[in-house]
Structure 1
Amino acid sequence: MSVPPPDAPSPPSPSGLPVTVVGIGADGWAGLSGDARDALRGADVVIGGERQLGLLPRSECAGERVAWPSPLRPAVPGLLAAHAGRRIAVLASGDPMFYGIGRALGEVVGAAALRVVPHPSSVSYACARLGWPVEDTEVVTLVGRPADRLTAALHDGRRVLVLSAGAATPAEVAELLRARGYGPSRMHVLEQLGSDRERHLAATADAWDEPAGDPLNVVAVDCRRAPGAPRLGAVPGLPDTAYEHDGQLTKRHVRAATLGALAPEPGELLWDIGGGSGSIAVEWMRTHPSCRAVSVERDPARAERIGRNARALGVPGLRVAVGAAPAALAGLPVPDAVFIGGGLTAPGLLDACWEALPVGGRLVANTVTLESEALLAERYRRFGGELVRLAVAHAAPVGGFTGWRQAMPVTQWAVTKPSKGPKEPVAPADESGSGSGSRSGPGSGPEPGSGDER
Structure 2
Amino acid sequence: MTSPPAPPGRRTDPGGGAITVLGRGRHPLPPEDTATLAAATLVAGARRHLAAAPLPPAARRVVLGPLAPALDAVAAELARGGRPVVLASGDPGFFGVVRALAERFGPERLEVRPDTSSVAEAFARLGLPWDDAVVVSAHGRAPHTAYNVCRAHRKTAVLTAPGAGPAELAAALLRTPGIERRLIVASDLGGPGEAVEELDPAEAAARDWPAVNLVLCLAPGGGLGPMRALAGAPGTPDGWALPEAAFEHRDSMVTKAEVRALALARLGPRTGELVWDVGAGSGSVAVECARFGAAAVAVEQDADGVARIRANARAHGVDVSVVHGRAPGALAGLPAPDAVFVGGGGGDLPAVVAACASRARRTVVVTLAALDRVPAVREALTAAGLTCDGVLLQASRLAPLPGGVSRLAAANPVFVLWGRRPATDPHPHPRPAAERGHHPAPGGTHP
TM-score with structure 2 length normalisation? 0.51
State the Cα distance separating 1:124 from its structure 2 match.
0.9
Change in CA separation of 1:157 and 1:138 when aligned onto 2, cut-off 3 Å? closer
Give 3-state SS (helix, strand or coil) of 1:103's partner. Answer: helix
Equivalent residue letter for 1:257: A
Hey, what does 1:304 align to over in structure 2? 358
Hey, what does 1:20 align to over in structure 2? 20
Give 3-state SS (helix, strand or coil) of 2:131's partner. Answer: helix
Identity of aligned residues (%): 28
Equivalent residue letter for 2:172: L
Does the CA-based 8 Å contact 1:46-1:89 persist in structure 2? Answer: yes
Hey, what does 1:128 align to over in structure 2? 124
Hey, what does 2:99 align to over in structure 1? 103
Equivalents in 2 of 1:444, 1:40: separation in Å?
Answer: 51
Equivalent residue letter for 1:368: L
Alignment of 1:49-60 (within 5 A): 49-58=46-55
Hey, what does 2:168 align to over in structure 1? 172
Mean Cα deviation higher: 81-90 or 251-260: 251-260
State the Cα distance separating 1:175 from its structure 2 match.
1.2
Selected match of 2:413 from 408, 415, 422: 408
Q: Does 1:258 align with 2:262?
A: yes
State the Cα distance separating 1:302 from its structure 2 match.
6.3
Equivalent residue letter for 2:22: V
Does the CA-based 8 Å contact 2:189-2:213 persist in structure 1? Answer: yes
Give 3-state SS (helix, strand or coil) of 1:135's partner. Answer: coil
Q: Does 1:87 align with 2:83?
A: yes
Does the CA-based 8 Å contact 2:166-2:205 persist in structure 1? Answer: no
Selected match of 1:367 from 369, 378, 391: 391
Does the CA-based 8 Å contact 2:152-2:294 persist in structure 1? Answer: no
Does the CA-based 8 Å contact 2:264-2:289 persist in structure 1? Answer: no
Does the CA-based 8 Å contact 1:183-1:204 persist in structure 2? Answer: no
Selected match of 1:191 from 187, 190, 201: 187
Change in CA separation of 1:173 and 1:69 when aligned onto 2, cut-off 3 Å? closer
Aligned residues: 283
Does the CA-based 8 Å contact 2:63-2:70 persist in structure 1? Answer: no
Equivalents in 2 of 1:284, 1:254: separation in Å?
Answer: 18
Give 3-state SS (helix, strand or coil) of 2:360's partner. Answer: helix
Alignment of 1:18-417 (within 5 A): 18-25=18-25, 27=26, 31-58=28-55, 62-70=58-66, 72=67, 74-75=68-69, 77-83=71-77, 84=79, 85-154=81-150, 158-166=154-162, 169-181=165-177, 184-208=180-204, 211-224=207-220, 253-254=257-258, 256-258=260-262, 304-307=358-361, 342-343=388-389, 367-368=391-392, 390=395, 406-409=411-414
Superposed CA RMSD in Å reads: 4.8
State the Cα distance separating 1:186 from its structure 2 match.
1.6
Which structure has the higher relative contact order (CA within 8 Å, separation 6+)? 2
For structure 1, the 5+ residue unaligned runs are 1-14, 226-232, 239-250, 268-278, 311-319, 326-341, 344-365, 370-388, 393-403, 412-436, 446-454
Does the CA-based 8 Å contact 2:148-2:294 persist in structure 1? Answer: no
Equivalents in 2 of 1:41, 1:172: separation in Å?
Answer: 41
Change in CA separation of 1:75 and 1:193 when aligned onto 2, cut-off 3 Å? same
Does the CA-based 8 Å contact 1:19-1:90 persist in structure 2? Answer: yes
State the Cα distance separating 1:129 from its structure 2 match.
0.2
For structure 2, the 5+ residue unaligned runs are 1-14, 222-234, 243-254, 272-284, 296-337, 341-352, 365-381, 398-408, 423-447
Equivalents in 2 of 1:22, 1:169: separation in Å?
Answer: 26
State the Cα distance separating 1:183 from its structure 2 match.
5.7
Equivalents in 2 of 1:444, 1:61: separation in Å?
Answer: 55
Does the CA-based 8 Å contact 1:35-1:117 persist in structure 2? Answer: no
Equivalents in 2 of 1:176, 1:80: separation in Å?
Answer: 39
Does the CA-based 8 Å contact 1:183-1:205 persist in structure 2? Answer: no
Equivalents in 2 of 1:187, 1:286: separation in Å?
Answer: 24
Change in CA separation of 1:367 and 1:125 when aligned onto 2, cut-off 3 Å? same
Change in CA separation of 1:186 and 1:16 when aligned onto 2, cut-off 3 Å? same
Give 3-state SS (helix, strand or coil) of 2:94's partner. Answer: coil
User: CA offsets per residue over residues 314-344 of structure 1, 9 Å max, x none?
Assistant: xxxxxx9x8676xxxxxxxxxxxxxxxx44x
State the Cα distance separating 1:66 from its structure 2 match.
1.5
Equivalents in 1 of 2:128, 2:267: separation in Å?
Answer: 33
Equivalent residue letter for 1:51: R
State the Cα distance separating 1:50 from its structure 2 match.
2.3
TM-score with structure 1 length normalisation? 0.50
Does the CA-based 8 Å contact 1:151-1:180 persist in structure 2? Answer: no
Equivalent residue letter for 1:96: P
Hey, what does 2:400 align to over in structure 1? none
Equivalents in 1 of 2:176, 2:164: separation in Å?
Answer: 19
